[in-house]
Structure 1
Amino acid sequence: MFTDYKEKDSFETSITSSVYSIEETEKSGLYKALWGKHYRKFYSKDVRAKVAFIDTLKGGLTPVRRGGGHQSKSLRLETKDGKQYVMRALRKSAIKFLQSTAFQDKYVEEELEGSYADDFLSDFYTTAHPYTPTVVATLSDAVDVFHTNPELYYIPKQEALGEYNDEYGDELYLIEERVESGHKDLASFGKPKDILSTSDVLQEINKTGKSIVDEPSYIRARLFDMLIGDWDRHEDQWRWALFEKEDGTEICKPIPRDRDQAFSTFDGAILNFLNHAVPSLRMMQSFDNDLRSPKWFSFEPYPLDMTFINKSNWEDWEREAKTLETGLTDEVIERAFENIPEEMKGETIEGIKRKLKGRRGNIVDIARRYYEFTNEHAVITGTQKSDTFNVTRHADGKTTIEVHRKDLDVFTRTFNKEETKEIWIYGLDGKDTFNVTGDGDNLITIKILGGKKNDTYNFENIKKVKLYDYKGKDNTIVNKKSKKWLVDDYEINNYDYKKRKYGINQILPIIGANPDDGFQIGFTNNYTTYGIQRNPFTTRHSVSASYYTGNSGYDLSYKGEFSNIFHNWNFGIEAKYTSPNCANFFWIW
């Protein structure tokens, strides 16, 4: 155990320190051109931070356990009355990330230390500004978004850390409340009845239909993510404040946490190319006056958005966007950035503030673009009990969907074909009844998935509606002409909130050379769709074109694959045209 720590009285009340050393942030001009400048120089710049000893901080804290993140080096601390805090190092651990993701079955931390992968990932982390998490609380307060309250400290190795001195101490940390039930009295959490995890909320909604997410609060929180450029908003980045209303029903309001990716910048030629070419990286968009693509920026939280926002129309979204636009005044922004260490202030911080004010002016347009994207496809769920789903077709492309369970109105909304092209309805458990009535026109496509028990399908209007269920169980299909797909396939029939309808387009260059044809220059465009039936996708189309300098020739090709033409059987087609002999090939497999 580490015991070579200094005594408390040998420290001043504050100390200067940096996240990285100067040697770690020194990069060549070529490196910066290819990989970007990021916020690299601020990681090796000294700041003055308060020195803290955990046995006197917050009335006295005791280490409880190491944090469980893939890259953050964090330690849970607890007060005498059971309230927990998190001590998170500003220096992220690239080795910890590699060990927990790429090398789960083999211990490699010692081998990776100081390796190129370690250095590269450590440098990549400089895309996020190390000190901007300290400004988010003030910004959040101004627009009524719940938040933690991170504070910057220098934590020396000390007796109170005990066995944790081997891994923690002698560096800069942010200390904030751990978002859990011990902080139910905290104003910035709304002083709720309880604090839940995302999985708790999902289970409660599907189980009873009573505990619902407060959509205005969640929309506002998500638009706030877009406003500050915080792209890392996966399921575990949320906790939920539970409140009981006067009528006895419960609502949940979001508590976002871990704001370390706000105001990120992804400059450099290679990162810029990868950001456009690799779909999973498109959410990493540099903070600027506008948000280039709300759709891709929200790649991680999109399933949650589709699950928690299903009753709100554009007027609801616009109201929350304008709340941000008017609430986040210039004075609030200036006051928030006063929390940044003095040594960090200057041209870069002024630039972030200008961009934030610019994005504030674009937030209604950003909200509109994301609203239109999320409403192209809707997903509606019942409860684990027996529900009745009434689908009523109207004129002018409108469809009303109502979900009832005995005396409880679970859901009601009228959709318009101009906004919504397809709706998936999941009955979940219970003996559910699905009624489709009304003639209507310009119909929205509806796909209904009953679940595991005997469900009743009564489709008076069978146009643009299809049912999916298990072949091996009893179902009651009143209209025998109803379109159906009955297969004993768990992946198709089971509800998974992360399963959503979407498409990915990817354009990649083709560059090559050979003695006969000379240089080859071209491209490949791959478009892949994901719907209910996947094996492992729904459709994939690939178009390629190349030009050859040696003979002025060219070729064009197409490949297509369509899943589940028959259950677990895909259909493929391929065609190719090549000059100068005009050979034309066509086959299927």
Structure 2
Amino acid sequence: MNPRYPFAFLLLTAASCSRDTYFQPDARVDFTSALPARADSARVTAGRHYRRGPSGRFFLGPHYRRAWAEPITLPVLDLQTAVPGGLKFGKIGGGFQTISMTVVGADGRSYALRSIDKDPYRTLPKALRQGFILTTVRDATSAGMPYGALVVPALAEAAGVPHTTPRAFYVRPDENGLEEASERFRGKVVLLEEKFEGKQNITGPVAGAQDLEESDDVLAERYASAKHVLDGDAYIRARLLDLWLGDWDRHEGQWSWAAYTQPTGRVLWKPVPQDRDQVFFRFDDGVLSWLVSKLVAKFRTFRLHYESIEGYTRNAAFMDERALAAVPRATYLRTAHELQLQLTDAVIEQAVRQGLPREVYQLEGPRMIATLKARRTTLPKATEEFYRLKAREVLVAGTDEAERFVVQRLNDTATVVSVYALPLRKKDPAASLLYQRSFNPAYTHTVRLHGLQGKDEFVVSGEVRRSPFVEVYGGPGEDLLQDSSRVAGLRKRTRFFDTSRNNVLEPGPETKDRTAHSVLSHAFDRDGSGR
């Protein structure tokens, strides 16, 4: 092979791994014999099709291939006894990679049933759904720890983060109790876990909540009314746990939210993480996978030191921007130190030993424990980097009701942004306060204010040498901007984006008028659908 074409050589190597029938026909080690009708357990592998020879491991990476191919004993899924009262068919899920469905208990509680193995076939363009490219992408599933989700509950419990408690099962090759989904699940290793969606599922870690909703519904309520607030302190705790676990796939669809009514009448939405398929990810240990990791930043490997914080957190950027907007640096660091104390050696060792199947623990347990302990030691440093990443550009959004945004450029290290509900309570203006945070230009380059709908007011004041840029997006409706601030330097630090008509501008020396005849400045992605 010509050394000038190393990538072509890699592709040919990957092509050599291609085969027409990719997945194991049945998870049982001895699937040629019938499973006894009353069998309550089976000897299975999560994915022995991920085994590779020396050249395959060299180019594609060893990943967690041994864990996928290691025979373990799992209980056979019995829909009558899996939960008290039994389970029945609910609906087929719509996952792009995982075979999934909802099953329902006798009490109306819903559970997710999904395969441990994945098939990214539908995530690829049609032109790539064949040959070595498809096989190579399918092979990347082996970078995930198949039983990693079973380790998380004990760690989340110690960290004070709500969690599901998944259990692994083998589905009989003649299972019919899942109705039209039965054929899709037969012979597979699956996880069964609680779903935290809907009032019927309020129990366990969310007991006492008034409601349970998905992210898109919660965000719709958050931006409609100031009555609804996201719990930023609880969210940063959950996100630091994600970071510690190397869980890079935390997009908005991976969260449910539990509603708690406060004495003030506001509804505080607390995050409930779900779907831990990508914890302990191990990817860049092969030549080809190493190259891919340089091109796709989110594929970060779980190792002793933290890799790119931006990569670990890229999939969660949309939700982070909205849920962390009010969280100061001190809360980030305090939470990191609390987690260090809560996630003790004993907690880590017990979680890994009890979570992993015995045979897989012998292969991976000691290494996982050592890595978790090392990452715990440097969690505050990683947290500082996470804060700096999120503080660089901050979104401060109002609601569809009327608000007053007050920006006070107090000094060279503090620009304070406060948001008040209108009309202000004359006897107690502080009771109208919805949001407040101080920004240091050493960390924050830009603060973006979105008034959304309603007749909003933006008041900017103060004379300083240094301050973040403040970008004001008035939104639909008549808005007011008053800017009397001054910042040293030639670049104007207050920018107003809105339509050219139906607004009142009282500009100052820092004001840059960016109004236009178009309504493009009114666009605001409320639920992630605009990305």
TM-score by length of 2: 0.85
Q: Structure 1 counterpart of 2:378, which letter? A: N
Percent identity among equivalent residues?
26
Residue from 411, 419, 438 that aligns with 1:403: 419
Residue from 65, 69, 93 that aligns with 2:119: 93
**2:252, 2:319 within 8 Å by CA — same for their partners in 1?**
yes
Name the CA distance, whole Å, in 2 between partners of 1:439 and 1:242. 41
**1:76, 1:86 within 8 Å by CA — same for their partners in 2?**
yes
**1:53, 1:158 within 8 Å by CA — same for their partners in 2?**
no
How far 1:159 sits from its partner (Å)? 3.3
Matched, 1:189 2:206: yes
Number of equivalences? 479
Residue from 215, 220, 227 that aligns with 2:244: 227
- Residue by residue over 1:76-135, the C-alpha shift from the partner in whole angstroms, topping out at 9 and shown as x without a partner, is 11122221111111121233x34xx524xx9x9xx85xx434432331100001011101
The match for 1:512 is none
The match for 2:81 is 56
- Larger RCO (alpha carbons 8 Å, 6+ apart): 2
Residue from 55, 68, 73 that aligns with 2:99: 73
Name the CA distance, whole Å, in 1 between partners of 2:397 and 2:199. 32
**2:254, 2:273 within 8 Å by CA — same for their partners in 1?**
yes
Residue from 345, 370, 385 that aligns with 1:369: 385
How far 1:17 sits from its partner (Å)? 0.9
The match for 1:313 is 328
The match for 1:38 is 63
Alignment of 1:488-527 (within 5 A): 488-496=517-525
Return 5+ residue gaps in structure 1 as ranges: 1-5, 500-535, 537-589
TM-score by length of 1: 0.77
Name the CA distance, whole Å, in 1 between partners of 2:505 and 2:262. 40
The match for 1:328 is 343
Q: Cα RMSD between the aligned structures? A: 2.3
The match for 1:443 is 467
Matched, 1:212 2:235: no
Name the CA distance, whole Å, in 2 between partners of 1:490 and 1:167. 48
**2:405, 2:420 within 8 Å by CA — same for their partners in 1?**
yes
- Residue by residue over 1:405-425, the C-alpha shift from the partner in whole angstroms, topping out at 9 and shown as x without a partner, is 124211122212222121111
Name the CA distance, whole Å, in 1 between partners of 2:151 and 2:331. 27
The match for 1:584 is none
The match for 1:564 is none
**1:179, 1:195 within 8 Å by CA — same for their partners in 2?**
yes
How far 1:310 sits from its partner (Å)? 2.0
Q: Helix, strand or coil: the match of 1:299? A: helix
The match for 1:142 is 158
Residue from 374, 377, 390 that aligns with 2:406: 390
Q: Helix, strand or coil: the match of 2:408? A: strand
How far 1:479 sits from its partner (Å)? 3.1
Q: Structure 2 counterpart of 1:476, which letter? A: V
Structure with the greater alpha carbon radius of gyration: 1
Range with bigger deviation, 182-191 or 483-492: 182-191
How far 1:183 sits from its partner (Å)? 5.0
Where in structure 1 do 4 or more consecutive aligned residues deviate above 4 Å?
A: 6-9
Q: Which structure's residues are more often helix, by fraction?
A: 2
The match for 2:493 is 464
**2:46, 2:69 within 8 Å by CA — same for their partners in 1?**
yes
Q: Helix, strand or coil: the match of 1:486? A: coil
How far 1:264 sits from its partner (Å)? 0.6
Return 5+ residue gaps in structure 2 as ranges: 1-32, 426-431, 487-491
**2:113, 2:192 within 8 Å by CA — same for their partners in 1?**
yes
Name the CA distance, whole Å, in 2 between partners of 1:260 and 1:479. 51
Name the CA distance, whole Å, in 1 between partners of 2:527 and 2:93. 26
Q: Helix, strand or coil: the match of 2:268? A: strand
Name the CA distance, whole Å, in 1 between partners of 2:358 and 2:367. 16
The match for 2:507 is 479
Q: Helix, strand or coil: the match of 2:55? A: helix
**2:199, 2:210 within 8 Å by CA — same for their partners in 1?**
no
How far 1:307 sits from its partner (Å)? 1.1
How far 1:72 sits from its partner (Å)? 0.5
Name the CA distance, whole Å, in 2 between partners of 1:228 and 1:73. 24
Residue from 270, 276, 293 that aligns with 2:288: 270
- Residue by residue over 1:148-190, the C-alpha shift from the partner in whole angstroms, topping out at 9 and shown as x without a partner, is 1100111213232233222222221110012212554422334
The match for 2:29 is none
Residue from 171, 183, 205 that aligns with 1:155: 171
How far 1:438 sits from its partner (Å)? 1.9
The match for 1:559 is none
